[in-house]
Chains A and B, each alone.
Chain A
Amino acid sequence: MPRRRSPSVDPCELRRHTTEGRFRTDGLHRLEHVKPFSALRSPAVRDGMGIGVAVGVAGLAFGTAAVAAGLSPAQSVFLSMFMFTGASQFALVGVVAGGGNLVAGAMGALLLGARNTLYGLRLADLLGWRGARRALAAHGVIDETTAATLAQPDRESARTAFVTTYVVLGGFWVTTTLVGALATERVSDIDAFGLDAVGPAIFLGLLWPRLRSGGLRTWSIALLGAGLALATTPILPPGVPVLLAASAALIALIGPDDGAGATSPEPARGTSRGEADS
């Protein structure tokens, strides 16, 4: 089987995504119509800019959550700059806020970060970079860059979309983290601003595309995961219940591969995953 025909990066499938406009119906992507610079005619650049700005400014929320949890602004910016994967950052900070075990917090962050490995596997052939470029690009492999990249029809635009999303999102993410962190340092009563609702809202926003395109099995995994974590929170140290919840993912291994458990590893792929693999 030639490499390019592999189910994950099948060019035909990618084109179908684009033509069906699945990517464009994604909630995160709808800021695209803002079009900061009308001169940007390339769809790859527009995709990257749109998603990069929309998601990048969420660094405000991270800076806020991190400082509210007890991190210094320098530590908050360090995470946004080097860890650079939102869900893991929020998960680690959440455990710090709860006064939890740092090892458990790190494990949770790494487990969440493991989905980036999956994205990397997908992107490797499409981007086709080696050596130092690959090492640099690896830092930028996250939900949003993967979504923007997989939506492109060919390698050149895939590379453009990847770099644009990476640079724009990264720039905004780090800058707004600093702004959020410094602003929160000056806020005396975090709760009065409703900032304790920001954490769950962010995780909801990250989970939503998967729930929306997922079937019964996806919902079962989510509900069992939440239930396991809630049931064990009163008796286990903070951070550990969330780790334990990962075992709910075993539901994905039950029964035939109907695509439900494998649906939408990232927003751009929508619901066609199952069809593509069968």
Chain B
Amino acid sequence: MTLWIALIATSVGCYLLKYAGLAAPRRLLDNPWLRRFAVAVPIALLAALIAVEALRGDGPALAWDTARMAGVGAAVLALILRAPFLVVIIVAAATTAALRALGVG
């Protein structure tokens, strides 16, 4: 139940953030400080999410999983080769699964 409340509240919040942009005065975009910060936030958050998810352990400690890290590496390679989004994801999962099947990590 707590989880449902969190899901609903966050969904409502995300909608309001979208609506605020469409309805707000455009002047806000003219503030360079606000714009620079707002554009940079997702870069920092996404990078943090990549790192934390890639090195996630069972508990609070970080853990190195060779098969998983190889999957992430394969995703980077796919992105460098300009593969479509879904291909990048499949390549990552397939690489990790294949290495685990071979007994790695």
Chain A residues with CB under 8 Å of chain B are: 3, 6, 8, 25, 27-28, 30-31, 54-55, 57-58, 60-61, 71, 75, 78-79, 82-85, 87-88, 90-92, 94, 96, 98, 102-103, 105-106, 108-125, 127, 129, 134-135, 137-139, 141-142, 191-208, 210-211, 214, 218, 221-230, 233-235, 238, 241-242, 245-253, 257, 261-263, 265
Contact = CB atoms under 8 A, between A and B. Distances in A.
B45 A108 contact: yes
B42 to A, nearest CB: 5
Given A194-B100, A201-B88, A248-B40, 16 more contacts: A114-B17, A117-B21, A122-B29, A141-B22, A194-B94, A197-B71, A200-B75, A204-B75, A207-B50, A218-B43, A222-B47, A228-B48, A230-B52, A246-B45, A249-B40, A249-B41
Given A114-B17, A234-B60, A124 B22 contact: yes
A203 B46 contact: yes
Interface residues of B, number: 76
B49 A90 contact: yes
A54 B87 CA distance: 9
Interface of B: 2-4, 6-11, 13-15, 17-24, 26, 28-30, 32-33, 35-56, 60-62, 65, 67-68, 71-72, 75-76, 79, 82-86, 88-89, 91-98, 100-101
Contacts of B35: 118, 262
B23 to A, nearest CB: 7
The list of the 6 closest CB pairs from A to B, nearest first, reads A120-B21, A194-B96, A197-B71, A225-B44, A245-B48, A194-B97
B22 A120 contact: yes
8 contacts: A30-B84, A121-B21, A198-B92, A204-B88, A205-B88, A222-B46, A241-B52, A253-B37
A91 B49 contact: yes
Contact of A253 (B28, B33, B61, B72): B33
